[in-house]
Structure 1
Amino acid sequence: MQFLWPQFLWLLLALPLLVGLYLLLLRRKKKLAVRYASLAFVKEAMGRGQQVRRHVPPLLFLLAMTALVLAASRPVAVVTLPSNQQTIMLAMDVSGSMRATDVQPNRLVAAQNAAKAFIGELPRHVKVGIVAFAGSAQVAQLPTTNREDLVTAIDRFQLQRATATGNAIVISLATLFPDQGIDLENMQSGRERPRGQSLDNEKKGKKEFTPVAPGSYPSAAIIMLTDGQRTTGVDPIEAAKMAADRGVRVYTVGIGTVDGETIGFEGWSMRVRLDEETLKQIANKTSAEYFYAGTAQDLRKVYEALSSKLTVEKKETEISALFAMAAACLALLSAGLSLVWFNRIL
């Protein structure tokens, strides 16, 4: 815990003076009791329990003063609070390899079920958008709070050829920031860009943006699930840089075989391999995390973990109000006990 105004902590040195003053008053009362036999007799009659109880209200008052000084020093601590996340983009792989059955009943169905469960656990105010990607990427559902529309969009997935992980990130960013100059035309057409030209096309009258620190944008995040490596489209590392420049975290989820596997279907076969290294780079570049899900149960756990990460967050927050409230409660308790026990305040 840190303090924004640590100079006020010097006031804590006054607390021992209060203790000394209290002890001095007790000594004076003790001398008075010895001088007058009747007072000594009353003290004897009170008993030890009553004598101990008389010190409780002053002790509570001292604690209240301590809390008040700490509150004045403006303490700051890392606390867990509800997240300000307002929009989450789910980018889901629908390439042909998602029909593999190493994750039961198959990768696509397991991913669909986990995504629907994830959506159901999010707070109702959080918008969710769906991007489906294979050889290209398209928005299956614009961000919405309507959970039924999201489930319908997920159930409509159709398997396609190839894998364009970079396109999925760029399409997600274009959905989150429609006013920024993201060059979707060249990306979707597959035309090669001149060397040095970025997907951020700011010369078409679009709203400019200033790059920010990675992971600093609190209002949106992207979750990308894939079981393969990029075979076409935008370089995913370049797309991750675009997300990092906008402060958007890209959480990556890998499902499938890391070492590679040949998958056959209706007379054709394809070699698929999960590119974990690239997925980790995407997550690290955007200050997010990479998760591996080898089974349907693992995938559900990944989405549960992501749900908790995106709905609550730890951040440095001033907690002066907590100390002030504690000081008020202790002061009221001290005064209340003193009135009940001794018919006076302290």
Structure 2
Amino acid sequence: MGQLPGFTVLWPKMLWLLALVPVLAWLYWRMLRRGNRVAVRYPALELVGGAGPVRAWRRWVPAILLLLGLTSMVLAIARPQAVMSLPSRLENIVLAMDMSGSMRATDIRPSRIYAAQAAAKQFVAEQPLNVSVGVVAVAGAAAVVQSPSRQRERVEAAIDRLQPQRGTALGAGLIIALTTVLPDQDIDVERFMDGAPLPPPPNAAGEPVVPGSNPSSAVILLSDGESNSGPDPLKAAEVAAQYGVRIFTVGIGTPEGVTLEADGWSMRVRLDEATLKKIADTTGAQYFQADDAEGLKKIYSSLSTRLAFDKQRQVEISSLFAALGALLAGLSAMLSLWWFGRVQ
């Protein structure tokens, strides 16, 4: 199968027909030269035909349009295909938001949590009306603060209610987010919390699920990546991969970190990019890093577009080339009739 970047043809041998286009152009040029010789020999005929030097270019316009139309039709015969982004079938999104004490840090102004809430609400507002959005708060424990809903006011109000708490259990937050986005699946959360491996989900074909293959559900984790309690977040990512659910990760903060002081204690809080990248890679998703509030909003806008058109497929576009060829040929015929009273 012949191929160009993003473009393929199923029948490349048919492209040899394109060689007829310059041949036809040469024949038309020869015909015009013969007509010009007749006009020079018999000037009266030129006056009768009404084609003077000013209008000579008109003879080429219909011919060029016709040749372009034939080229398009030949390409249609070769059955061209193109890689196109198609609308996704996304139905449920869960925002897993890190609400640990490190979210009080001000390396993103005015604070990590304020910037995260503002960007998350913008993301919710940009989602199509048919997409349900839920919210899971992640701290020392994880809790569903808003089940997936299409009522944007409820989701935004739940985001506004989030407050920093002690501890970070990313693994627990991810497994809770997974059960929230897949309410019909019987995921044994208690067994996972106890550290026992979970069996892979049943598959009618008897084959393992491809990571990221679930088109209807996704989880977005916003965190600095540091986890100090609960199960391993990478184990939770492996479970999500078994169900084909993508976990997009958004790193908030800076790798060098800042010193956070509160209630008489101080600690250095850094962005753990390695963990967040591994979570996204395991589930067939993508990692984003935001080091300021405006950048965080742009990331969420990019995510909105990606989730709306997240599938790229080879689509046959023969009909488009055939329609374009017919349009150009028809336009050529109309111009010929208009200018010369006949099809040239």
Q: TM-score, normalised by structure 2?
A: 0.85
Relative distance call for 1:75 and 1:21 in structure 2 (3 A) is same
One-letter identity of the residue aligned with 2:195: E
Contact 1:259 1:274 (C-alpha < 8 Å) held by counterparts: yes
The answer to whether structure 1 residue 8 and structure 2 residue 14 are counterparts is: yes
Whole-angstrom distance in 2 between the partners of 1:275 and 1:135: 17
Give yes or no for contact 1:82–1:313 (8 Å, CA) kept in 2: yes
CA contact (8 A) 1:182 1:200 kept: no
In structure 1, what is the Cα distance between the partners aligned to 2:153 and 2:45?
80
Structure 1, unmatched stretches of 5+, are: none
CA distance in 1, matches of 2:143, 2:320: 48
SS of equivalent residue, structure 1 residue 12: helix
What residue is the counterpart of 1:246 in the other structure? 243
Deviations 1:209-232 (A, max 9, x none): 843333333333221011351112
**Which moved further from structure 2: 25-34 or 317-326?**
25-34
Matches within 5 A, 1:48-67: 48-67=53-72
Task: Report if the CA contact (8 A) 2:259-2:266 is conserved.
Answer: yes
Aligned length: 336
Give distance in 2, aligned partners of 1:275 and 1:227.
6
Give the alignment partner of residue 281 of structure 2, picking from 274, 279, 284: 284
Unaligned runs of 5+ in 2: 1-6
Tell me whether 1:105 sits opposite 2:110 in the alignment: yes
Match of 1:212 among 209, 215, 218: 209
In the alignment, which of 130, 140, 143 is matched to residue 138 of structure 1? 143
Shift of 1:36: 4.9
Secondary structure (helix, strand or coil) at the match of 1:264 reads strand
Which residue in the other structure is 1:94 paired with?
99
Question: What displacement does 1:269 show?
Answer: 4.4
2:93 and 2:132 in contact (8 A); partners too = yes
C-alpha separation in 1, matches of 2:239 and 2:9: 36
Work out the CA distance in 1 between the residues paired with 2:74 and 2:176. 52
| Structure 1 runs (4+) greater than 6 angstroms displaced | 206-209
Equivalent residue in structure 2 for 1:176, among 172, 181, 186 = 181
- How large is the RMSD of aligned CA atoms in angstroms? 2.8
Matched residues, percent identical?
51
Cα distance in 2 for residues equivalent to 1:341 and 1:103: 68
C-alpha distance in 1, partners of 2:195/2:178? 20
* Aligned counterparts of 2:88 and 2:160: Cα–Cα separation in 1: 28
Measure, in 2, the Cα distance between the counterparts of 1:3 and 1:334. Answer: 27
Instruction: Give CA deviations for 1:144-194 in whole Å, capped at 9, x if unaligned.
Output: 22111111211222433221212222222222333334221223xx3232x
CA distance in 2, matches of 1:207, 1:161: 39
Q: Distance in 2 between matches of 1:24 and 1:101?
A: 77
Q: Who is 2:312 aligned against?
A: 315
Cα distance between partner residues in 1 of 2:207 and 2:264: 51
Structure 1 length-normalised TM: 0.85
Alignment partner of 1:303 out of 297, 300, 310:
300
- Asked if residue 230 in structure 1 is aligned to residue 230 in structure 2, the reply is no
1:35, distance to aligned residue in structure 2 (A):
6.3
Deviates further, 137-146 or 213-222: 213-222
Structure 1 residues 274 and 33: CA distance shift in structure 2, 3 A: closer
Correspondence list, 1:326-345, <5 A: 326-345=324-343
CA distance, structure 2, for counterparts of residue 158 and residue 170 of structure 1? 21
Contact 1:137 1:167 in 2 (8 A): yes
Checking the alignment, whether the CA contact within 8 Å between 1:249 and 1:283 is kept in structure 2 is: yes
* 2:4 corresponding residue in structure 1: none
CA distance in 2, matches of 1:113, 1:304: 12
